[in-house]
Amino acid sequence: MSLVDRGASDTDRLRAAFEQTRATLAGNLMGILLITPAFWSLAPMPKMLGWLLLAAGLWFVRLGHFLRYRARRDADDATLERWRTSWRVLLLAQGAMWPLAVWLFWGLGTPYHALLLILVANAYTMGAVQLLSAHPRMFLLFISTVWVPVIVRVATDTSQPWHWQFALVLLLVFGSNAVLGRTYRDALSQAIALKKQTEHLAEQLKREKAVADEARRVAEAANRAKTQFFAAASHDLRQPLHAMGLFAEALRQRGQKSGDVEVASLVNSINQSVDALEGLFGELLDITRIDSGGVDVQPAPVRLRDLFARLRLHFEPVAFEKGLALSFHGEHRIAHSDPLLVERILRNLVSNAIRYTEDGGVLVAARPKPGDPGKLRLQVWDSGVGIAEASLPRVFDEFFQVPGGAPLAAHQKKGLGLGLAIVKRLADLLEAPLAVRSVPGRGTVFTFEVPVGREPRSIAPPPASGGKSLGLTLNGRRIVVVEDEPAVREGLTVLLQTWGASVEALPDLAAVQAWRADPAREAPDLLIVDYRLPEGHTGIEALDALRARWPGVALPAIVVTGSSLGGHEDEAGRHDFHLLIKPVLPNKLRAMIAFKLGVR
């Protein structure tokens, strides 16, 4: 079996031959139009008309044969096999018209007329090389039908002394046509075989791609499920941790009153463990979302005035409690990057800076990059303990903690070693070069670069806040707590009462509406509400309801949430509250309460 036979089915080759009939009809029509005017006045009229009518009749019969195929291109294999015989007969009959013309018109006119007959015959055999090479038997039969009668006619023309030499030349042409057809057939067979192999590889690649796509979809679904699991587990576990921290602090307060130093020490250990678990939940969730591809980069104009206002809203109470100056520079500048990711990077860096700084302050700055006005450098400076030069290359590694240095205070405990790893991953997502410089004992600066942006749509910045500390007690302060989790509500109530406050604890929005309906109620000093309330309500609705009861009084508010996924900062600016993430350690809550009441 030839390569042609192996490369394509017999039916496929037959369909290809039918499709090529259009080209052969065009070539035959051109030959008729060349021969007829050339010999019209030279040949006897009966011979001329007879040949012309026969050639034209065969041409129209083949045209009808082709049109029948065009009308039924989807014919089955059996029908095509029946048409094969008529196709062969018509092809050979039409091919025979050219040697017949040589027999009828040879010797008429000038040598140029004889050359015309030979050239027309050769043209059809050359055309057959391309059209019939996939059918080797038909090809040989066709060129033999054309050339053998022509060679015989030239060889028997005794009127010319060179007839034998010319016949030998034509025999060589016939042989070269046969060799050329075989060569073309071999090349075509290889092309068909390669095409089949390519189609096979493409089909195999398509199947493998489908398998890979399915595996990718399964992996993405698993990553999404893992991220959702971490988020749900983080939220659910924060609730009891939050309550545990509140009860522990209440226990410590009672231990202090009774003079039991051992109880206070145990409670401090509990609070440190709760704080470590809080950081672990948040950072593990962030690492999981980034590594699973759950974080998409969506560049947009970033107005640094709004971003810095949110950072101030979040970190100013913490810095205030430690006696640190938290300042910002370059608020008027605009960056172009993902607003959420840029904010998360700065949050982690500012949190680290405040944790490891005991004296001085923290500066968040935005400056143009020297020599490149299209880039903006975002920097976080601190005057803290600093990092040794040997540790700088590893500060962005997971779970790496800077060794050595002076012992840390309880509130300045070491982190889990994931915060800067998250910063590095987020900076890589943003394609923002990240660098760190530090001098031990003097401070550290972290820098990352983002493109300069244009002014976005105007949004009113949240109000700035500042002031002095409350003091040691909450004596005489009236605080309203809205919390649906009984253990958290009870723990918060006990703790606030321990600090001397008068507490009204409400479980849901309906209770808030009922409580505020009493006309004898006096305006509270502070509102502490959970973000997620029963029946799909939120703490924002509770805030609005309580503030509507006393429209002329500015009620400071703290919203507590168990979700670490963020997204509430803009609401905090619009509704004038500060946000705390569960579990809230008592010292953080105390600092926030002092900050909120100290500025009113």
Q: Which tens digits make up the pLDDT trace of 465-478?
A: 333 333 446 788 89
Predicted confidence at residue 165, as pLDDT, reads 85
Angle between helices 77-105 and 21-39 (to 10 degrees): 20
Mean pLDDT on 529-546: 88
Give the CA diameter of the chain.
144
Which of helix, strand or coil describes residue 518? coil
Is the model's pLDDT at 411 over the cut of 50? no
Would you say 504 and 528 are in contact if contact means Cβ atoms under 8 Å apart?
no
Q: Is residue 431 part of a domain?
A: yes
Q: Is residue 277 located within the same domain as residue 344?
A: no
Between 130 and 556, name the one with better pLDDT: 556
Q: How confident is the model at residue 227 (pLDDT cuts 50, 70, 90)?
A: low
pLDDT band at 401 (very low <50, low <70, confident <90, very high): low
Asked whether residue 469 falls in the same domain as residue 457, the answer is no
The mean pLDDT of the chain is 79
Q: Are residues 579 and 529 in the same domain?
A: yes
- Domain match, 239 and 373 both: no
At 49-87, the pLDDT tens digits run 999 999 889 889 888 888 888 888 777 777 877 888 888
Query: Contact, 599 vs 555, CB < 8 A?
Result: no
Domain boundary among 446, 463, 480: 463
pLDDT at 288 over 70: no
Question: Is 370 found in the same domain as 481?
Answer: no
Flag the least confident range among 119-123, 212-216, 287-291. Answer: 287-291
Listed residue (411, 406, 353, 358) closest to 382, CA to CA? 353
Residues 21 and 81 in one domain: yes
- CA pair distance 44, 583, nearest whole angstrom: 114
- The pair of structure tokens assigned to 377 is 């450098």
Residue 171 lies in a domain: no
What are 429-466's pLDDT values in tens digits?
A: 888 888 999 988 889 999 999 999 887 554 444 343 33
**pLDDT score of 1 more than 50:** no
pLDDT of residue 460: 42
200 occurs within a structural domain: no
Place of tokens 């089909």: 203
Question: What integer pLDDT is reported at residue 464 of this predicted model?
Answer: 39
Q: Where in the sequence is the domain holding 331, given as residue range(s)?
A: 298-463
In a domain, residue 192? The reply is no
Is 313 in the same domain as 458?
Answer: yes
Return the higher-pLDDT residue of 309 and 1. 309
Q: Is residue 570 part of a domain?
A: yes
Q: What is the pLDDT of residue 463?
A: 40
How many domains, the chain?
3
Q: Are residues 457 and 508 in the same domain?
A: no
The alpha-helical segments, DSSP class H, found in 106-162 are 111-132, 136-155
411 shares its domain with 395: yes
Say how many C-beta atoms besides its own lie within 10 A of residue 492's C-beta.
Answer: 29
160, 190, 212 — which closes off a domain?
Answer: 160
Q: How far apart are CA 436 and CA 269, in angstroms?
A: 33
Residues 474 and 540 in one domain: yes
Pairing of strands 325-329, 361-369: parallel
Q: Does position 132 have pLDDT exceeding 80, yes or no?
A: no
In degrees, rounded to 5, the angle at the alpha carbon of residue 237 between the alpha carbons of residues 236 and 239 is 75
**DSSP assigned state of 517:** T
The pLDDT > 70 percentage for the chain reads: 78
Asked if residue 55 and residue 117 are part of one domain, the reply reads: yes
Domain assignment of residue 180, yes or no: no
365, pLDDT greater than 90:
yes
Same domain, 472 and 511: yes
Render 544-576 in DSSP notation, one character per residue: HHHHHHSTTS---EEEEES--S---HHHHHHHT
pLDDT in tens, 477-501: 899 999 888 888 888 888 888 888 8
